């Protein structure tokens, strides 16, 4: 069994390095437990929108985040098709990150027992196979 501590900023760096975060997302900044970013809509108006996500919960290998924007951006995002991949699903306003699937695919032999979020860090408890 091992205990890993990883900050939101470190997790974002890992996701960027593995090309998991869609290219439409840029200018990522971490402020405490909030992830701020710009989203390129692919439309003329608005071309970009400011948004941020907060950690909501972890359950059964899934991290659930909640996205927040302005009123107008909220309406645009409800109409736009948002990018997804094997690890991130967008069900606006929720962002669902399949962290256990991500770690299993990227780190061979790692089995997650639990993930907690406290003081700006994910605390990942693992067990041996």
pLDDT for the residue 129: 62
Determine if residue 17 is left, alpha or beta; phi over 0 gives left, psi from -120 to 50 gives alpha, anything else beta.
alpha
The dihedral built from the CA positions of residue 111, 117, 122 and 125, taken in this order, carries a sign that is negative
Query: Which regions in the chain score pLDDT beneath 50?
Result: none
Question: pLDDT tens digits for 41-59?
Answer: 877 878 888 999 888 887 8
DSSP 81: P
Beta-carbon contacts of residue 119 (< 8 Å; ≥ 6 apart): none
pTM of the model: 0.73
pLDDT for the residue 28: 92
Residue 21 has phi, psi (to 5 degrees) of -80, 125
């Amino acid at each position: 069994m091992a205990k890993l501590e990883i900050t939101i900023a470190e997790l974002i760096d890992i996701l960027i390095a593995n090309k998991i975060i869609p290219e439409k997302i840029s200018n990522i900044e971490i402020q405490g437990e909030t992830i701020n970013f710009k989203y390129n809509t692919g439309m003329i108006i608005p071309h970009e929108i400011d948004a941020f996500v907060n950690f909501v919960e972890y359950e059964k290998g899934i991290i659930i985040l909640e996205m927040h924007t302005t009123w107008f951006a909220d309406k645009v995002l409800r109409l736009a098709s948002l990018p997804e991949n094997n690890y991130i699903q967008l069900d606006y306003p929720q962002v669902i990150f399949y962290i256990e699937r991500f770690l299993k695919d990227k780190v061979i032999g790692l089995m997650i027992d639990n993930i907690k979020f406290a003081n700006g860090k994910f605390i990942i408890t693992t067990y041996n196979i």
